[in-house]
Amino acid sequence: MLRDIQAAFGPFLGRIWINAAHQGPLPCAAAEEAYEAVDWKVCPYNLTTERFSGVPERLRQTLRKLTGAGENEIVLANSASYGLHLLANGIPLQPGDEVLLMRGDFPSDIFPWLGLEKKGVKVRFITPRHAVVEPDELLTHITSRTRVFCTTWVHSLSGWAVDLDTLGSICRDHGAYFVLNASQAVGARPLDLAGPLVDAVTCVGFKWLCGPYGTGFLWLHPELRDRLDYNQAYWLSMQTADDLGRPDATPAIRDDLGARRYDVFGTANFFNFKPWAASIEYLLSLGIDRIADHDQELVSRLIDGLDHLDYQLFSPRSGDRRSTLVFFSHRDPNRNEEIWKSLREEAVFISYRAGKLRAAPHLYNTPEEIDRLLELLGRLA
Ligand SMILES: Cc1ncc(COP(=O)(O)O)c(C=O)c1O
């Protein structure tokens, strides 16, 4: 299987990309679809109405397969921030209501809520004692005025995953919406919306889902979807381009669209959404469970190897809270940036984040590539 997967990406030309937490590479099958999309634009007679309208529909159905979402629950987006802004601007919040966030969370989870302060909404931060908010910390901070708790599933700056189920049930018990940013998780671990008690999941498409940059989605629980109060009526959601040909077409707002009503403008964005649908279809054809197993084997190999070197691990060693983001540091943290740059010169790409080194292996990486990273880390230490 591994050899087939390697051949389905790249060419990497000898470079080792262990950095899906930054950008996941586009699979070759998806690149082919991107070239086809360019042809649709170069030769617009090839861009039939069926093709144009088929782009968002194919993507929505693919995302439903990926997430198990219902028919009217997926919003097509261009980022994680799109969904977060829709929620921040659409959840009916009153002066005195509270939004709880994690101090040190990825900035996309913080900025959309900050603007609500001028309406009298209180934005409060939980400072985690370790890396992410633990259930007892949420319990200490949540109040009867808390309407929303927003956090990442897997924290980009520590590699820790939150305890989804327990945080979700605390929110449910207190009548607060649980908003989850799954950008560093979906594609590398299964998401089953029937399981965790979340009300909204926002996610980018360009990391673990290996889509183009400028892709994302938002899942909305129907109860929250129907409570959103947000004036959005994109004409291509309300009607089709074909309606323009009708002599009697009168613009009228439809209220039967479900979450689709909130799709990002330019929903038939074929340059991005066509290849992204192909990327997800490819991942689904392999099986997200199998990909997760493969990724975790690579993570274990890396962590085992680091134990024998002069580096300290900061992300979890094992268990559910471990993700595919491995954070570690040289015993002298001042050397991390230089080590990261030297790795790049040796054609091994990881990230330097929050003063530490971050490796993020995904399906196209091999055990040999992890060994090469370890060998270089040993030499550079
Ligand atoms: C957790 C998380 N959320 C969101 C993003 C990106 O957000 P957006 O798509 O809104 O630019 C990233 C990384 O770029 C991330 O790590």
Ligand 1 centroid, distance to 80 Cα (angstroms)? 6
Residue 352 beta carbon below 6 angstroms from any ligand 1 atom: no
- Residues with Cβ within 8 Å of 257's Cβ and at least 6 positions away in sequence, in order, are 72, 237, 238
Distances (CA, A) of 229 to 32, 77, 89, 90, 92: 40, 18, 8, 5, 6
- Please choose from 111, 156, 208 the residue to mutate so as to test ligand 1's pocket, defined by most ligand atoms within 8 A of CB: 156
Among residues 187, 257, 211, 221, which one has the least CA distance to residue 77? Answer: 211
> 279 C-alpha vs ligand 1 centroid, how far in Å?
18
Interstrand relation of 351-353 and 356-359 (parallel, antiparallel or unpaired):
antiparallel
Cβ–ligand 1 contact at 181 (below 6 Å): yes
Q: Judge contact between 189 and 292, C-beta under 8 A.
A: yes
Name which residue sits closest to atom 7 of ligand 1, judged by CA. Answer: 80
Neighbours of 195 (CB within 10 A): 12
Helix axes 367-380, 288-307, angle to 10 degrees: 30
pLDDT number for residue 299? 98
CA of 216 to the centre of ligand 1 (A): 10
Alpha carbon of 89 to ligand 1 centroid (Å): 19
Mean pLDDT per 10-residue section of the chain, whose length is 381 residues: 85 97 98 98 97 97 97 97 98 98 98 97 98 98 98 98 97 98 97 88 98 98 97 91 82 93 97 98 97 98 96 97 98 97 98 98 98 98 93
* CB-ligand 1 contact for 12 (6 Å cutoff): no
| Ligand 1 centroid distance, CA of 262 (Å) | 20
- Is the CB of residue 329 below 6 angstroms from any atom belonging to ligand 1? no
Q: How far is the CA of 182 from the centre of ligand 1 (A)?
A: 9
At residue 316, the pLDDT reads 98
Residue nearest to ligand 1 atom 11, measured at CA: 79
Task: Report the distance separating Cα 207 and Cα 194, nearest Å.
Answer: 24
233 within 8 A of 210, measured Cβ to Cβ = no
Structure tokens of 176?
Answer: 């607060």
Are the beta carbons of 289 and 361 closer than 8 angstroms? no
Does residue 108 have its Cβ closer than 6 Å to ligand 1?
yes
Ligand 1 proximity of 78 Cβ (cutoff 6 Å): no
Residue nearest to atom 3 of ligand 1 (CA): 183
Substitution candidate for ligand 1 out of 19, 108, 153 with most atoms within 8 A of CB: 108
- Dihedral of CA atoms 165, 167, 169, 171 in degrees, nearest 10, equals -150
Query: The sheet that has 351-353: what strands, in order across it?
Result: 311-313, 326-330, 356-359, 351-353
Whole-number Å distance, alpha carbon 29 to ligand 1 midpoint, is 25
The amino acid at 89: N
Cα separation, 138 vs 174, whole angstroms:
11
